[in-house]
């Protein structure tokens, strides 16, 4: 299989960025990725712009992003897979470079959300569920994930206190991430006392809508060796789909088949097992999502995700540190940028540049990125 590398990563500050437009956010991430790769913009022969465009005022944002970044007349286009857009962007770049159609691609994940109210955003998110059979009843993303939480609680005895361990852990690490939207740790009591959003999920169980961008520079092995002495290799790419409507899914609704399928494909391609993973970024859109992801990625057995948390195994120093950049819960979730933000964090870890949250000797990292209510899931394995 062809070897494809990430040779540069960039990240804007995430959050309520009332100071910046979509194109300017994209520039922040792109410019810092070029600096990181230490290459000129002229080397980029195509851009893949990843955004769930219904949240942006700009329609077809690839057009304006490529223009603002100075990437005309090279090819550009948009990739949309809801919250998994930029993980799918990396997959696209992998194919473009492996096929030799392109040499160096910029994957730009970007989202400008906060020009809409949270209510308007949740209306759009509810329509990322089945618009004929579910959205007409008032669905929201928190509502969908809350239904998984209710089922997990009923089947495995999972409690709200256990779920609260996720935001407490992630906000602790988020306090060390200057790009994060929230940089203040929170306590279990604060999580439990926060207002209900969609029971059993409360405010601090949820990620927040945000503006932001993250960028990955992707190239082939030959160019990577010439351009950098610290490439990060794309070792495994898994992507799967599930029915969009909840009613078409089987079983007790305590796990995501889509993530299990994506993980299987990624582990197989990378020829590793979950035990080999040194550091992980999982999609903690909600506290319950992180717990399900532990189980679906094979870090814990079904129902065992909460034990992993209680034993501190997903903390720094634990068996498998997860979301030590703060996760979506601290960083905020600018939908199209999140997948690239996870890969940014893994690249830093694998290059040994993660500072106070460095996982010692990390060689293999896994990122897992769910799209919408789990109709898409991407699992990406990177190697130092």
Partner 1 sequence: MGFEKFGRFGYVSQTKINPLLSYLEKGQIAATKCEKCGRTYFPPRADCLDDRHSALEWVVLDGKSNLVTFTKVFFAPPAFQPETPYLLGLAELSNGLRVFAPISASVEEKQLKPGKEMNLKAAKGARDNLFYWLE
Cβ atoms within 10 Å of 58's Cβ, excluding its own: 16
Complex with partner 1: residue 32 or 209, whichever CB lies closer: 209
55: contact with ligand COA by CB under 6 A:
no
- Name 373's bridge partners: none
122: contact with ligand COA by CB under 6 A:
yes
Active site residue 83: yes
For residue 102, give every residue at least 6 positions away whose Cβ sits within 8 Å of its Cβ, in sequence order, or none.
45, 46, 75, 93, 96
- In the complex, minimum distance from the CB of residue 153 to partner 1, in angstroms, rounded to a whole number: 9
Which of 103-111, 147-155, 205-213, 239-247 is the region at the interface with ligand COA (rule: CB under 6 A)? Answer: 205-213
Q: Which of 83, 206, 207, 215 is catalytic?
A: 83
Complex with ligand COA: residue 79 or 329, whichever CB lies closer: 329
Q: Write out the two tokens for 164.
A: 């609260």
Residue numbers 73-112 binding ligand COA by CB under 6 A: 83
Complex with ligand COA: residue 228 or 330, whichever CB lies closer: 330
Q: Which does 138 bind (CB under 5 to 8 A by kind): ligand COA, partner 1, none?
A: partner 1
Q: Give the Cα separation of 186 and 31 in Å (integer).
A: 33
- In the complex, minimum distance from the CB of residue 120 to partner 1, in angstroms, rounded to a whole number: 7
- In the complex, minimum distance from the CB of residue 260 to ligand COA, in angstroms, rounded to a whole number: 18
351: contact with ligand COA by CB under 6 A:
no
Residues 252/256/261/267 CA torsion (nearest 10 deg): -120
Complex with ligand COA: residue 286 or 344, whichever CB lies closer: 286
206: contact with ligand COA by CB under 6 A:
yes
* Residue 109 near residue 338, CB atoms below 8 Å: yes
Q: Give the Cα separation of 237 and 243 in Å (integer).
A: 21
Q: Which does 248 bind (CB under 5 to 8 A by kind): ligand COA, partner 1, none?
A: partner 1
Q: Write out the two tokens for 51.
A: 């955004």
Nearest CA to 61 among 41, 75, 38, 77?
Answer: 77
10: contact with ligand COA by CB under 6 A:
no
Which of 146-154, 200-208, 297-305, 351-359 is the region at the interface with ligand COA (rule: CB under 6 A)? Answer: 200-208
* Residue 269 near residue 235, CB atoms below 8 Å: yes
- In the complex, minimum distance from the CB of residue 114 to ligand COA, in angstroms, rounded to a whole number: 9
Nearest CA to 235 among 71, 92, 380?
Answer: 380
Residue recorded with tokens 């997990």: 152
For residue 349, give every residue at least 6 positions away whose Cβ sits within 8 Å of its Cβ, in sequence order, or none.
278, 279, 324, 358, 359, 362, 365
* Residue 182 near residue 330, CB atoms below 8 Å: yes
Active site residue 206: no
Q: Which does 294 bind (CB under 5 to 8 A by kind): partner 1, ligand COA, none?
A: none
* Residue 60 near residue 78, CB atoms below 8 Å: yes
Q: Which residues are catalytic?
A: 83, 333
| Residues binding ligand COA (CB under 6 A) | 83, 118, 121-122, 125, 141-142, 182, 197, 203-204, 206-209, 285, 333
């Amino acid at each position: 299989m062809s070897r494809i590398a990430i040779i540069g990563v960039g990240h804007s500050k995430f959050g309520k960025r009332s100071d910046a437009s979509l194109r300017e956010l994209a520039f922040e991430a792109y410019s810092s990725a070029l600096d990181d790769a230490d290459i000129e913009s002229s080397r980029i022969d195509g851009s893949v712009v990843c955004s769930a465009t219904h949240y942006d005022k700009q329609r077809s944002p690839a057009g304006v992003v490529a223009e603002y970044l100075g990437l005309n007349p090279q090819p550009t286009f948009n990739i949309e897979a809801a919250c998994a857009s930029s993980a799918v962007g990396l997959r696209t770049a992998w194919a473009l470079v492996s096929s030799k159609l392109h040499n160096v691609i910029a994957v730009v994940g970007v989202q400008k959300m906060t020009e809409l109210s949270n209510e308007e955003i949740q209306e759009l998110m509810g329509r990322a569920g089945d618009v004929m059979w579910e959205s007409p009843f008032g669905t929201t993303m928190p509502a969908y994930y809350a239904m998984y939480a209710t089922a997990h609680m009923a089947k495995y005895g999972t409690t709200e206190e256990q779920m609260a361990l996720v935001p407490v852990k992630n906000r602790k690490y988020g306090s060390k991430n200057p790009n994060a939207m929230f940089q203040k740790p929170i306590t279990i009591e604060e999580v439990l006392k926060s207002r209900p959003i969609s029971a059993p999920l409360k405010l601090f169980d949820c990620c927040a809508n945000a503006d932001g961008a993250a960028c990955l520079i992707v190239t082939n092995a030959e160019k990577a060796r010439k351009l950098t002495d610290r490439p990060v290799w794309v070792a495994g790419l898994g992507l799967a789909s599930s029915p969009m409507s909840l009613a078409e899914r089987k079983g007790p609704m305590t796990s995501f088949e889509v993530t299990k399928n994506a993980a299987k494909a990624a582990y197989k391609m990378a020829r590793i097992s979950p035990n080999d993973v040194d550091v992980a970024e999982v999609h903690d859109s909600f506290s319950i999502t992180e717990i399900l992801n532990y189980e679906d990625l094979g870090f814990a057995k079904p129902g065992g995700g909460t034990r992993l948390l209680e034993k501190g195994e997903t903390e720094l120093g634990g068996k498998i540190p997860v979301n030590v950049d703060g996760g979506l819960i601290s960083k905020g979730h600018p939908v199209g940028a999140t997948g690239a933000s996870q890969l940014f964090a893994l690249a830093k870890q694998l290059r040994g540049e993660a500072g106070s949250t460095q996982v010692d000797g990390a060689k293999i990292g896994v990122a897992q990125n769910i799209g919408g209510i789990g109709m898409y899931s991407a699992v990406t394995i990177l190697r130092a």
